[in-house]
Amino acid sequence: MPEKLAPVAHCKKCFYCYIPAPKCPNCGEKNVDFVPSRLHPYHIAELHTLPKRTYLIKGLLDCNALSVVFGESNSGKTFFVIDLALTLALGWPWQSHKAKQGAVCYVAAEGGLGLKERLDAFFLHHEIKPHIPFYLIPTGVDLLNTNGDTEELIQHISTIKNLKMVVIDTLSRAMAGGNENSPEDMTAFIHNCDEIREATRAHVLIVHHSGKDRERGARGHSALKAAVDTEIEVIQTDGIITAEVKKQRDGKTGRKYNFTLNPIEVGKDEDGDKIVSCALIASEAQATPRRKIKGQKKRALGIIRDCISDKGQVRHVRQEMRAVMCISLDEAREALKRGNISAAEKADDIRRSISKVITELNDIGVTVSYGDYIWLSEQTD
């Protein structure tokens, strides 16, 4: 066996690091079990003594790991993360996944004090009092520079008992003006997140934005995707918020969770007007996938859209549905004819071609026709 290095002790109760002593100088725990420094090299015969991988939310997030939740603006990603974090602090199962109860510290670098309304909506929706181990830091932080806020942040949150999760919302506001596309800046940010994770033994969850091309994932340098253990994308379509597991270092990807938002009055402003926020509700409904259209149908949709913009009127086309901005089918046909949507020469052939393209647009769900009217469906971008 190789000679062992002198250990630096970690208190197993509060995870405080110190030179071995009869009791922990941070929490006073006596007869502390010491574990080696994280840089201690393990001989192959010692590997069975390595800490076991443990779950925080079973099948989704591990303890002492790094994850990112990303999505476009107004996709519902913050509502998703708040729901996940508060459920963890309560010790409830999350979407039928077992969870280990513990304290959560939410660094609201983007949103700040406005996050309180979303927290209030959660408590009102679930009819519970906010007496849980949840902590909010409502200010921007610098997790990029060596002389930034990482050390001070660790000092403060290390005093929180049984800390299980630290949320950084959002990456862009925590990079303190750094370049998300720079490998040096992104690596420095990840390093500081790892410092927080290793010092607190908590899971660090980063809230981030999608790039300009959503299909390419989270914004910025690929070093982030490579570093995280779990990556979750949040999108909102037709009022349905969908969270999909895009990366799981040691687990299953592709799992989806669907939600809707329940509007809740959380108070009144200084003028006495209602303040409304939302709470997340699990839903069996699934958003209708967007369908890409091209060629003649794409051009026809543009013509109908412009015609609705110019001539559309709000009508109750069907008694049982809400009012819609629509045009008459005759107006749509005339606009398509003027737009030369058909290459035919005979009037009957032109008419049949226009009727066919309208039917095709209805069939793929981007327009809706009823009676004498046509309008754009809710899923049309």
For residue 268, the SS3 value is strand
**Per-residue pLDDT reduced to its tens digit, 94-103:** 998 999 999 9
Which residue in 28, 39, 36 sits closest to 10, CA to CA?
A: 36
pLDDT at residue number 127? 92
Indicate whether 288 belongs to any domain. no
**Same domain assignment for residues 307 and 268:** no
**Same domain assignment for residues 119 and 224:** yes
The CATH number linked to 253 is: 3.40.50.300
Chain-centre distance of CA 243, in angstroms? 7
Indicate whether 359 belongs to any domain. yes
The secondary structure of residue 218, as a DSSP letter, is B
Mean pLDDT of 250-274: 88
Indicate whether 180 belongs to any domain. yes
Mean pLDDT over all residues of the chain? 85
For residue 288, the SS3 value is coil
Nearest-5° angle of CA 257, CA 258, CA 261?
A: 135
Phi, psi of 305 (to 5 degrees): -60, -45
**Same domain assignment for residues 164 and 244:** yes
**Same domain assignment for residues 14 and 125:** no
**Per-residue pLDDT reduced to its tens digit, 48-98:** 777 778 999 999 999 999 999 999 888 899 999 999 999 999 999 999 899
The rounded distance, in Å, linking the Cα atoms of 278 and 92 is: 20
**Same domain assignment for residues 213 and 68:** yes
Contacts of 181 (CB under 8 A, 6+ apart): 220, 221
**Same domain assignment for residues 161 and 258:** yes
**Same domain assignment for residues 177 and 41:** no
Indicate whether 289 belongs to any domain. no
Total domain count, the chain: 3
Nearest-5° angle of CA 313, CA 315, CA 321?
A: 140
**Same domain assignment for residues 17 and 131:** no
Q: Decide which of 18 and 264 is more confident.
A: 264
**Per-residue pLDDT reduced to its tens digit, 284-304:** 765 555 556 788 888 899 899
Specify whether the CB–CB gap between 302 and 362 falls below 8 A. Answer: no
Specify whether the CB–CB gap between 279 and 262 falls below 8 A. Answer: yes
**Same domain assignment for residues 173 and 120:** yes
**Same domain assignment for residues 28 and 82:** no
Q: Are strands 230-237 and 240-248 parallel, antiparallel or unpaired?
A: antiparallel
Q: What token pair was written down for 305? A: 């859209």
For 271, other C-beta atoms within 10 Å of its C-beta total 5
**Same domain assignment for residues 212 and 116:** yes
Domain boundary among 255, 282, 309: 282
The rounded distance, in Å, linking the Cα atoms of 134 and 157 is: 11
Q: Is it the case that residue 165 has pLDDT exceeding 90? A: yes
- Return the percentage of the chain with pLDDT > 90, whole number: 50
pLDDT at residue number 211? 77
Indicate whether 381 belongs to any domain. no
**Same domain assignment for residues 257 and 138:** yes
Enclosing domain of residue 13: 1-51
